[in-house]
C-alpha cells in the first residue's frame, strides 16, 4: 500500500488502530513531494517545521485518550494559496503581489488547523485565480500528473495536481466558475462546490453568489469529512448560513429510488465524444444502483451563459483585479489582462441578475420532478499545460470554442445556491480523467453526496489503488 495515495478515511482508520502514526504519514507525502514536485510544480511553499510539530502533537493524542481526537487529526492537508494565513505570503500568483504578507487568516484555514489537520504546504493558482489552467510568471507552469503535457485545470490546479500525484491526503480549493470542479475532473478527484453561504469566506467574495471555498479529496467520504469541518456560520461573514449544516455519512444504498435528470449538453454545449460516452456510462452506473435516470433537455445557450457570466465578473471580479493591478499592468499575465478587458466590456449588472433568475427557472422546474441533474464537468479532454486563452481555443469535434464554452461548470456558479459534486467518470485516450457533475436542488447537499457515493461504488474507478497516476 502506497501511503501517499490512501484516502483520508483509510488514514483515519489506520491512525485510530495505531498501525500508522501521523509522523509516518507525513513522511510519506513529504517523500512523495520530493520525488514528483520537480515534474508537477504544484506547491508555492512547504511548511514542514510546523507540520512535523502538528504531526507529533497528533501522535501524542492518538496514544492517549482517543475521545479527545479532532475531526482531521493527523491528516496531511494542503491549502490553496488564495486562502491567506496571517504572517505568511499572500501573492495570488502575481508579480504585482510578490512578497506581500497577509495580515488576516481565512476562516476555513482557522477551522482546518483547529480540526487537527497537518497543514504542510500551499498550492499554486493562476494569477488572481482567473483562469481554468494554472501557470503564472510568479510560479511557473503546474502540470497534470496524469499527462504532464496537459494542465491540471484551474484555478485550484495546484491542489488538484498535488492530490492526484500523492503529495497530500486532502486539499482545499475555491470555485467562482469551476475552479474546484475543473481540477477535480482533470485529475480524477472528487471536488465539491458548496452552495452560496454554506462555507464562510472573506470580502469581497463572501458576498459573491458565484463564489465558494470548498473541499477536494480522493473519495466522496473524504470530501464530506472536510466539508463538515469548514462549513457553518462565522462571525466575520454575514452571508454565512446558520445553523451549521452537517452532512450525514454518504451511503450508496440511500440512492435507491432517487430520480436523476441526465443532460449531456446543457442546452447547446459542444461535448467531446469521449466525455459524452463516459457521462452516459456514469448514468448507466447510477441505474445499476437502483436510481431512475431520464434524459432531459435544457434551453440554455452557451452564448447567453457567457454574457450573463461576464456581466457578473464585470461588476465584481474584473474591478477587483484592476484595483489590485493598478499601474503595474506590464507585470500581469496576458490572460489576466484579457479577463479584465472582457469584464470591463460586459453588459449591465442588473440585466445580468434578471437573466440569472430566468436561467434558473427551467432547472427549477426540472427539480420539481428530479432529485438531481447529471452532466459532464468539462466538455473537453484537456488543454495544454501552458494553454493561453488569449491566443488559443479548444477543438471539440470539428468545432472551435473558447475555454469558457467548454467549462460546463459555469452555469452552476451563475445559479450559485445549488450544491455541485464532481466525481470521475473515466479516462480519456490522452490519459487524463473525465468527470461528471451531480447538481442538487438549492441547499440539498446531502443528495449530491448520496448519489456520489452510489457512483463511487458502482464505477469502482477511483476506489482502486491502481487508479492514481505513477507520474
> What are the pLDDT digits (tens) for 312-342?
988 888 787 778 777 788 999 999 989 988 8
pLDDT tens digit string along 329-380?
A: 899 999 998 998 888 888 888 888 999 999 999 999 999 999 999 999 999 9
Instruction: Work out the angle at residue 196's Cα, subtended by the Cα atoms of residues 195 and 201, and round it to the nearest 5 degrees.
Output: 120
Contact 276/233 with Cβ under 8 angstroms?
no
Active site members: 80, 155, 179
The secondary structure of the chain in percent helix, strand, coil, rounded to multiples of 5, reads 40, 15, 40
Domains of the chain: 3-467 (3.90.1300.10)
Distance between CA atoms of residues 249 and 450, nearest Å: 9
Quick one: how far is CA 291 from the chain centroid?
26
pLDDT at 314: 85
> Any idea how long the chain is?
471
pLDDT-derived band of residue 1, with 50, 70 and 90 as boundaries? confident
Distance between CA atoms of residues 381 and 384, nearest Å: 10
pLDDT at 164 over 90: yes
pLDDT tens digit string along 447-457?
A: 999 999 999 99
What is this structure's pTM? 0.98
Strand partners of residue 101: 89
Distance between CA atoms of residues 281 and 155, nearest Å: 28
Distances (CA, A) of 14 to 217, 218, 224: 18, 16, 19
Strand partners of residue 46: 121
Strand extents, DSSP E, 218-352: 259-262, 292-295
Amino acid at each position: 500500500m502506497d501511503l501517499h495515495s490512501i484516502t483520508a478515511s483509510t488514514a483515519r482508520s489506520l491512525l485510530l488502530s495505531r498501525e500508522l502514526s501521523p509522523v509516518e504519514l507525513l513522511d510519506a507525502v513529504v517523500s512523495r513531494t520530493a520525488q514528483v514536485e520537480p515534474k508537477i510544480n504544484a506547491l508555492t511553499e512547504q511548511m514542514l517545521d510546523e507540520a512535523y510539530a502538528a504531526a507529533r502533537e497528533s501522535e501524542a493524542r492518538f496514544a492517549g485518550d482517543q475521545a479527545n481526537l479532532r475531526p482531521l487529526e493527523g491528516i496531511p492537508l494542503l491549502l490553496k494559496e488564495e486562502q491567506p494565513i496571517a504572517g505568511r505570503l499572500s501573492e495570488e500568483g502575481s508579480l504585482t503581489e510578490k512578497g506581500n504578507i497577509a495580515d488576516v487568516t481565512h476562516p476555513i484555514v482557522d477551522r482546518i488547523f483547529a480540526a487537527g489537520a497537518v497543514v504542510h504546504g500551499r498550492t499554486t493558482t493562476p494569477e488572481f485565480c482567473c483562469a481554468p489552467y494554472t501557470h503564472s510568471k510568479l510560479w511557473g507552469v503546474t502540470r497534470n500528473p496524469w499527462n504532464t503535457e496537459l494542465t491540471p485545470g484551474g484555478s485550484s490546479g495546484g491542489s488538484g495536481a498535488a492530490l492526484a500525484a500523492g503529495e497530500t491526503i486532502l486539499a482545499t480549493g475555491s470555485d467562482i466558475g469551476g475552479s474546484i470542479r475543473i481540477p477535480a475532473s482533470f485529475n480524477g478527484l472528487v471536488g465539491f462546490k458548496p452552495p452560496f453561504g454554506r462555507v464562510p469566506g472573506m470580502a469581497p467574495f463572501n458576498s459573491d453568489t458565484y463564489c465558494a471555498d470548498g473541499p477536494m479529496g480522493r473519495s466522496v467520504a473524504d470530501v464530506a469529512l472536510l466539508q463538515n469541518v469548514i462549513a457553518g456560520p462565522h462571525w466575520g461573514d454575514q452571508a454565512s448560513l446558520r445553523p451549521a449544516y452537517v452532512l450525514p455519512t454518504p451511503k450508496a444504498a440511500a440512492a435507491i429510488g432517487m430520480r436523476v435528470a441526465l443532460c449531456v449538453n446543457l442546452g447547446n454545449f459542444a461535448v467531446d465524444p469521449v466525455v459524452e460516452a463516459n457521462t452516459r456510462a456514469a448514468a448507466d452506473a447510477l441505474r445499476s444502483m437502483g436510481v431512475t435516470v431520464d434524459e432531459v433537455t435544457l434551453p440554455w445557450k452557451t452564448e447567453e451563459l457567457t454574457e450573463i457570466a461576464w456581466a457578473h465578473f464585470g461588476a465584481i471580479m474584473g474591478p477587483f483585479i484592476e484595483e489590485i493591478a493598478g499601474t503595474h499592468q506590464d507585470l500581469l499575465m496576458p490572460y489576466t489582462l484579457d479577463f479584465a478587458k472582457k469584464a470591463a466590456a460586459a453588459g449591465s449588472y442588473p440585466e445580468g441578475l434578471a437573466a440569472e433568475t430566468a436561467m434558473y427557472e427551467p432547472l427549477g422546474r426540472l427539480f420539481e420532478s428530479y432529485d438531481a441533474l447529471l452532466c459532464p464537468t468539462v466538455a473537453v479532454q484537456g488543454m495544454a499545460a501552458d494553454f493561453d486563452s488569449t491566443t488559443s481555443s479548444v477543438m471539440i469535434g470539428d468545432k472551435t470554442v473558447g475555454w469558457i464554452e467548454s467549462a460546463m461548470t459555469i452555469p452552476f456558479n451563475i445559479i450559485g445556491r445549488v450544491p455541485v459534486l464532481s466525481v470521475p467518470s473515466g479516462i480519456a485516450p490522452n490519459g487524463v480523467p473525465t468527470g461528471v457533475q451531480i447538481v442538487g436542488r438549492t441547499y440539498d447537499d446531502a443528495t449530491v453526496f448520496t448519489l456520489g457515493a452510489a457512483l463511487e461504488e458502482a464505477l469502482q474507478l477511483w476506489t482502486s489503488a491502481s487508479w492514481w497516476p505513477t507520474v
